[in-house]
Structure 1
Amino acid sequence: MILVCLFFCAAGVQAQFDARFSQYWAVPGYYHPGWAGQTDNKLNIYGSYGMQLMGFTHAPRVMYFGADMPFTLFRKQQGAGVGFFNEAIGLFRNQRFWGQYAYQMKIRKGKLGIGLQAGILNISFDPSDINLGDETDDEAFPTTAESGTAVDIGLGAYYSHPQFYAAFSAHHLTAPRISLGEKSQIKIHPIVYLTGGYNIQTRNPLISIQPSMQLQSDFISTRLDLTGRLFYTYRSKVLSGGLTYSPDTSVTFSFGLTVQGVTLGYAYECFTSKIGAASGSHDLMVRYALDLNVFKKSRNLHKSVRIL
């Protein structure tokens, strides 16, 4: 009932529209279109699933699936990506599908990607679970399922360096308005993301530290995440653990494992408000990096022992 009042009785939505993932560093394609094609000769496939506010009825559930890859056109390196996002919160469902294009250029030891994102945003509402008691003819509440769509545009830049990375992006630049029926309308405010991280190599070659941060704001509300992660690398295996602090919001614990190009991650967000730690949010992530250059010239190369 509270969700119905928020969306249908208020003039506008004051909270940030975009759902967030606790492991923001692991799904850069969700936040930054400039990331598409950053990794050389690699097809990156991402998947993330979040269960938020555990213990609450009809609590939010979010899912993201995306992929990106580099390609060369006119001897210039570029990148392409796609993404699908689905969020179920109460009686509402928010779905987005987008495509990304990024122009990649080398700058000294790093790479700068300038990206554009375009897609479709769909919001639907199903009132079948509303229990109005005897007031079944109350016109203030909808009785039939409604949905609306709008075009969604975003852009951004992503710079990666062997020692650090920095990214900026802006989503919902068209400030789309979505109509649900004849009486209700939802306005989506633009939102900006600023992300950065640094790689610190310790004296032990197997151990490294990576601090990072992400700032997100729709100019109405702002959230800052500060993260520190510790990495242990042995041959092709990487084990990580981290802690994220969001002032006045939450503390998040995260763990990750990378084996043969497959990365698995888990995070649990504990809210520091009156919601309590037991009603936190779970975040599961999987990422796979596939080598695109499967037809290498030296793949089946043979040499004669007589020549050697």
Structure 2
Amino acid sequence: MKCSRILKYIIFICLFFCAAKGQAQFDARFSQYWEVKGYYHPGWVGQTDNKMNIYGSYGMQLMGFTHAPRVMYFGADMPFTLFNKQHGVGVGFFNEGIGLFRNQRFWGQYAYQMKIRKGKLGIGLQVGMLTVSFDPSDINLGDETDDEAFPTAAESGMAVDLGLGGYYSHPKFYAGFSAHHLTAPRVSLGDKSQIKIHPIFYLTGGYNIQTRNPLISIQPSMQLQSDFTSTRLDVTGRLFYTYHSRVLSGGLTYSPDTSVTFSFGLTVRGVTLGYAYECFTSKIGVASGSHDLLVRYALDLNVFKKNRNLHKSVRIL
């Protein structure tokens, strides 16, 4: 067997087992987790009164590596009232490419919202579909193409995905808990390969500290994710400067034994732009970190109601 063929075989095996065995890493992580609450917590949808939230996030991970992961998330949520009760609905789409593998998910969310003292508690359900596909078209074996160890055609599999959780928001703090992949879906790739996705749990919390300067506030937060085999903790501190409707922020996130992340954000007229760079503290190095870009827009739903009954009197014309 040629050396080049051996190398290709090793690369293929590594890519496969990274996707098939690394269940704790199946859910991609976004560095600005505080801005994409709908991605992690179905109980969040509809918590912003009279506003539709639209999110978009794109991550470029492990820069400098061939076939490095690329992740994209798009989501939206909004509140509504039914039978004098508050509810929320949301949708989300996620796409991830890792080497020859692609992971795609689409889901719908519903949350029942209830007032508790000065805060709001949301109990949410998430139902969707999960698709994993493998495309070997980029594998070049030269003249020897009869090796059964290498698939010759693209394979994909689909499974139902289920999640639920609760989220409580207060003017001074917030806390959320959610569980994803509760059905422990199994995705078959052809007749010989199968990927099992274990449930993963998220715990998120944050606090708002107003300084003596009314323009400056501090918001510490944390997020814990675990499948009881592998666990990751992110601890963040962000500083906010608010002037009229403009908000400028900067933050630092530390994940023990993993990375340090720098983040920046700007909010103007309901539009939030965010950027984060994750520097790994392992031997991967600072230059091979991960970029995270985010756009969020909060649309005022009352804009339609305000214009609904507008009219002009002919006596004024």
TM range, normalised to the smaller chain? over 0.9
Residue 201 of structure 2 is matched in structure 1 by: 192
CA separation of 1:206 and 1:11: change in aligned 2, threshold 3 A: closer
Q: What SS does the aligned partner of 2:137 have? A: helix
Pick from 227, 233, 242 the counterpart of residue 236 of structure 2: 227
The percentage of counterpart residues that share the same residue type is: 84
Question: What is the Cα deviation at residue 179 of structure 1?
Answer: 0.3
Q: Which amino acid aligns with 1:284?
A: L
Question: What is the Cα deviation at residue 14 of structure 1?
Answer: 3.2
Contact 2:58 2:70 in 1 (8 A): yes
Instruction: Give a deviation string over 1:162-213, Cα, whole Å, max 9, x none.
Output: 0000000000000000000000000001000000000000000000000000
Aligned positions of 1:10-159 closer than 5 A: 13-16=21-24, 17-159=26-168
Contact 1:229 1:242 in 2 (8 A): yes
- How many residues align structurally? 302
Question: What is the Cα deviation at residue 301 of structure 1?
Answer: 9.6
Q: What SS does the aligned partner of 2:38 have? A: helix
Are residues 1:296 and 2:294 paired? Answer: no
Task: List alignment gaps of at least 5 residues for structure 1.
Answer: 303-308
CA separation of 1:250 and 1:217: change in aligned 2, threshold 3 A: same
Q: What SS does the aligned partner of 1:150 have? A: strand
Instruction: Give a deviation string over 1:202-225, Cα, whole Å, max 9, x none.
Output: 000000000000000111110000
Aligned positions of 1:235-250 closer than 5 A: 235-250=244-259
Question: What is the Cα deviation at residue 257 of structure 1?
Answer: 0.1
CA separation of 1:161 and 1:60: change in aligned 2, threshold 3 A: same
CA separation of 1:64 and 1:207: change in aligned 2, threshold 3 A: same
Q: What TM-score does the superposition give when structure 2 sets the normalisation length? A: 0.92
Question: What is the Cα deviation at residue 131 of structure 1?
Answer: 2.5
Pick from 2, 8, 13 the counterpart of residue 5 of structure 1: 13
Contact 1:244 1:253 in 2 (8 A): yes
Contact 1:198 1:210 in 2 (8 A): yes
**Alignment root-mean-square deviation, CA:** 1.8
Question: What is the Cα deviation at residue 13 of structure 1?
Answer: 1.1
Alpha-carbon distance in 2 for matches of 1:139, 1:9 = 18
Task: List alignment gaps of at least 5 residues for structure 2.
Answer: 1-7, 313-317
Question: What is the Cα deviation at residue 10 of structure 1?
Answer: 8.8
Pick from 275, 278, 284 the counterpart of residue 275 of structure 1: 284
Contact 1:3 1:90 in 2 (8 A): no
Q: What TM-score does the superposition give when structure 1 sets the normalisation length? A: 0.94
Contact 1:14 1:220 in 2 (8 A): no
Question: What is the Cα deviation at residue 250 of structure 1?
Answer: 0.3
